[in-house]
């Protein structure tokens, strides 16, 4: 057997880099796509309640009721349409102009004094199940605040519950989502791009030429993957910089930790890309398989958008095999908490183990000939 030759390895790296630089589609996937995704996650996809159009029906003119209505109107969570009669706003909910309405009833003062009666009536669009809860809770919180103010004024003391949210005090979903976007971008570059470029070699017949030379499989693999590794790290740097400077995501850990984690995460991603292209051998199938086996799980099963603990058991089980699950946990730790190695190391180990699994699978399928 030929040993690994640095010259051949470098030649492959150089060839691959030239191709990346000359192929606009590769550069689009590597640089334009991450930025687009980041903007999408930062602005369009938001799990926060903000400026929700809401009707507030004031049926009572007492001071407390006025204060209640004002606390809705003054909130940044709602865009309030005031009304005196519920019929005015009910029609607008049906028409879709409002998401719901709150009725501050005539006997609001009495309800405020009693502890068991509901404070206000909340009617919301059934298509927004979270909203009803949110509005009801907000009303109760606002009422409690109003009440305690008065009691303070009256010199009366009460037990006040003051929630404090750690790590993301404003509970902005952007702060949790943008680090997740980095995982998505790296999956795209690592898996999709790699799967495409190797499949392209099969499709265009250039693989046949390569395989007929003394190049070894290891040289071929490493030489092909190194440039994409670099591309992935570059994209991470860009995305992280944008996240911190433009979107105000805090960076409580160190950049070094981020890059170590990203580098480890590239291992399963690149291996999966190679595995796909070895099996698929044409670009169309490769891209479909990459979408279904890498992009979708990263998006849906990594805990990035949806809480893993809330998933049914089979999906929870599958999520253990999604490298992004561990990577997103690390990213959220690095961005929002800091370099907590006791949290990061086990996740890194899991990513590495999955990477080794995928690499061995790819290696065993890759042969230095054209046999299937």
Partner 1 sequence: MDSAGVTLDNVSKRFGAVEALHDVSARILPGRLTGLVGPDGAGKTTLMRLMAGLLTPSAGEISVCGFDTVREQARIADLTGYMPQRFGLYEDLTVLENMRLYAALRELPEGEQADAFARLLAFTRLEPFTERLAGKLSGGMKQKLGLACALMAQPRVLLLDEPGVGVDPLSRQDLWRMVRELTREGMTVVWSTAYLDEAEQCEAVLLCNGGRLAFDGPPGELTARLAGRAFRLANPRGDRRALLTRLVQLPEVSDGVIQGSAIRVVVREGAALDGVCALAHAADSEAEPVAPCFEDAFVDMLGGGPGGVSLLAERMPTVTLDAGAAVRCERLTRRFGDFVAAENVDFAVTPGEIFGLLGPNGAGKSTTFKMLCGLLKPSAGMAQVAGIDLARAASDAKSRLGYMAQKFSLYGLLSVRQNLEFSAGVYGLSGAEKKARVAEMVETFDLGPFLDAAPAELALGYRQRLALSCALMHRPPVLFLDEPTSGVDPVTRREFWTHINGLVRKGVTVLVTTHFMDEAEYCDRIALMVRGRVIALDTPDALKARAASAQSPTPTMEEAFIALIRASEKAEAQP
CB neighbours (10 Å) of residue 126? 9
Binders of partner 1 among 90-119, rule CB under 8 A?
none
Dihedral, 83, 86, 88, 90 alpha carbons, nearest 10: 130
Supply the minimum distance, in Å, between the C-beta of residue 208 and partner 1.
4
Q: Which is nearer to partner 1, 1 or 154 (CB)?
A: 1
The yes or no reply on residue 22 touching partner 1 (CB under 8 A) is yes
214 binds partner 1 per the rule CB under 8 A: yes
Minimum distance from residue 18 beta carbon to partner 1 (Å): 6
Q: What number of CA atoms fall less than 13 Å from residue 240's CA on the CB side?
A: 24
Query: Is the separation of the CB atoms in 147 and 112 below 8 Å?
Result: yes
Rg (CA), the chain: 28
Q: Is 215 in the site for partner 1 (CB under 8 A)?
A: yes
Contact 105, 111 (CB under 8 A): yes
Does the protein bind partner 1 through residue 150 (CB under 8 A)?
no
CB of 210 to partner 1, least distance (A): 7
Of 359, 303, 368, residue with least CA distance to 333? 303
Binder to partner 1 among 4, 19, 36, 61 (CB under 8 A)?
Answer: 19
Among 137, 212, 254, 288, binds partner 1 (CB under 8 A): 212
For residues 88 and 69, give the distance between their C-alpha atoms in angstroms, rounded to a whole number: 16
Query: Could you say whether residue 210 binds partner 1 (CB under 8 A)?
Result: yes
209 touches partner 1 (CB under 8 A): yes
Q: How many Cβ atoms sit within 10 Å of the Cβ of residue 226?
A: 17
Q: How many residues bind partner 1 (CB under 8 A)?
A: 29
Task: Compare residues 20 and 343 and give the one whose CB is closer to partner 1.
Answer: 20
Q: DSSP code of 105?
A: -
- The nearer residue to partner 1, 61 or 208, going by C-beta atoms, is 208
Rounded to an integer, what distance in angstroms lies between the CA atom of residue 301 and that of residue 308? 7
Q: Nearest approach, Cβ of 216 to partner 1 (angstroms)?
A: 8
Taking contact as CB under 8 A, which single stretch among the options 141-149, 208-216, 272-280, 291-299 is the one that binds partner 1?
208-216
Q: Which of 116, 170, 307, 371 binds partner 1 (CB under 8 A)?
A: 371
Token pair 């959220």 in the structure block, residue:
332
CA dihedral 141, 144, 149, 151 (to 10 degrees): -170
Stretch that binds partner 1, among 47-55, 204-212, 310-318, 324-332 (CB under 8 A): 204-212
Is 186:236 a contact under the CB 8 Å cutoff?
A: yes
CB of 25 to partner 1, least distance (A): 11
Q: Which residue spans within the chain are E strands per DSSP?
A: 52-58, 78-83, 100-104, 121-124
Any contact of residue 23 with partner 1 (CB under 8 A)?
Answer: yes
Q: How far is the CB of 191 from partner 1 (least distance, A)?
A: 22
**Which CB atom, from 186 or from 199, has the smaller least distance to partner 1?**
199
Distances (CA, A) of 133 to 86, 100, 124, 138, 139: 20, 12, 9, 8, 10
Tell which one of 211, 222, 230, 305 touches partner 1 (CB under 8 A). 211
Applying CB under 8 A, does 370 fall inside the site for partner 1? Answer: yes
- By CB under 8 A, name the binding residues for partner 1: 1-2, 5, 7-8, 10-12, 14-15, 18-19, 22-23, 204-206, 208-215, 368-371
């Amino acid at each position: 057997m030929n040993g690994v030759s640095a010259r051949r390895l470098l030649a492959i790296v150089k060839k691959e880099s030239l191709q990346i630089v000359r192929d606009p589609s590769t550069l689009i996937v590597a640089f334009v796509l991450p930025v687009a995704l980041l903007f999408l996650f930062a602005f369009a996809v938001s799990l926060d309640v903000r400026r929700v159009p809401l009707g507030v029906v004031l049926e009572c003119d007492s001071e407390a009721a006025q204060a209640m209505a004002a606390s809705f109107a003054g909130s940044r969570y709602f865009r309030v349409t005031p009304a005196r009669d519920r019929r005015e706003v009910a029609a607008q909910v049906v028409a879709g102009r409002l998401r719901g309405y709150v009725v501050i009833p005539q006997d609001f003062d009495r309800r405020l004094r009693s502890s068991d009666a509901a404070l206000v009536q909340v009617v919301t669009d059934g298509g927004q199940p979270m909203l009803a809860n949110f509005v009801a809770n907000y009303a109760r919180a606002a009422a409690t605040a109003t009440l305690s103010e008065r009691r303070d004024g009256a010199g009366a003391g009460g037990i006040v519950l003051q929630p404090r949210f750690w790590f993301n005090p404003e509970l902005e979903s952007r702060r949790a989502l943008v680090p997740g976007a980095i995982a998505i971008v790296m999956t795209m570059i690592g898996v999709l791009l790699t799967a495409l470029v190797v499949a392209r070699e099969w499709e265009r017949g250039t693989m046949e030429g390569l395989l007929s030379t003394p190049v070894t499989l290891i040289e071929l693999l490493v030489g092909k993957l190194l440039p994409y590794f670099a591309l992935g790290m570059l994209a991470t740097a860009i995305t992280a910089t944008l996240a911190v400077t433009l979107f105000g995501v805090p960076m409580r850990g160190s950049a070094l930790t981020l890059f170590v984690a990203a580098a480890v995460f590239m291992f399963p991603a690149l291996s999966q890309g190679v595995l796909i292209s070895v099996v698929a051998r044409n670009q169309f199938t490769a891209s479909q398989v990459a979408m279904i086996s890498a992009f979708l799980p990263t998006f849906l099963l990594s805990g990035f958008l949806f809480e893993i603990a809330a998933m049914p058991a089979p999906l929870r089980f599958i999520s253990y095999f999604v490298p992004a699950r561990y990577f997103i946990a690390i990213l959220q730790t690095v961005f929002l908490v800091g370099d907590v190695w006791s949290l990061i190391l086990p996740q890194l180990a899991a990513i590495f183990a999955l990477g080794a699994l995928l690499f061995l699978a790819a290696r065993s399928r890759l042969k230095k000939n054209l046999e299937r």
